[in-house]
Structure 1
Amino acid sequence: MRTGESWVVLVRGADRPGTLTALTGVFSTRGVSFESLTTGAVDGDVGTIAVTFRATPRRQQLLVRTVERLSVIHSVRVRAADDPAVRAAGVVRMPDGVAFAPPAAADVRWSGDASAGQHVLVEGSLADVTTVIAHARAQGAAITATVIVDV
């Protein structure tokens, strides 16, 4: 059972074997599971890893301090997952004949025509994009994906 608040950490680390293993080791040895983990583009010799997880504020601080000390890590930024500054993009592919419309309460931008069989790109805060993705899944979305783009 996962307890605590939901957090997002954006880690920039060396693009070399072992970086991801070192990062995941910090979490696993402290009994914290990922809600999600994505890798981003590599810029020169530095790559980006976005992790979402649940932890108490105290455990989150311990995790971040430990990750910052890893020799392969260049920078670490952490925010509460519901912070509007945490931006995300999502992709939705609805089943044939099912229209796409985000819930009225979700403040997102979107593009694409699901009725024409296109994937729909949804952009906004992580909280709002997550709401839209959950809504689309409940309507039978064939494909969904969420990527954290900044914290």
Structure 2
Amino acid sequence: MRTILAAMLFLLALALPGHAALDPAEMLEDPAAEARARAISKELRCMVCQNQSIDDSDAELARDLRAVVRDRIRAGDSDEEVFDFVVERYGDFVLMTPPFTPATWLLWLAPGLVLIIGGGVALLVLRRARGRAETRLTPEEEARLAALTGPETADRG
């Protein structure tokens, strides 16, 4: 039983999200500046991984971007200036949350449009199905159905 529990804990530890191992030489001396650098790094997308921030990525490019962020902070840039510098070099794609601009309208509005269109299609399908369910047979059709199915089913209706 203990072996199973140990194996489960080991597998659970493997499933936990990994974080990029920061090289101690990469870290800033000032804890407040390092906290700023980490916060900024969490908002920048790794261009290699694309679904991870540069703070979580072990890719070489992510390491380089973390160094750029720390260099800009050492140079005295504000958070906004650091973001502007990185966006100027890599474009809006580098931001984990892109801005709401004409270039990204489709990105931001597509989920809502899909829901609206899907809801409209669902309503049309339901209305058509309800319309079909309310269809009644004419007396001629009922007589023909009774003739085809036999007299025993005519009594059930």
* TM class, shorter-length: under 0.3
Higher radius of gyration, 1 or 2:
2
Compare the two structures and name the one with the higher helix fraction. 2
Under a length normalisation based on structure 1, what TM-score does the superposition of the two structures give? 0.26
Under a length normalisation based on structure 2, what TM-score does the superposition of the two structures give? 0.26
* Larger RCO of the pair (alpha carbons < 8 Å, separation 6+): 1
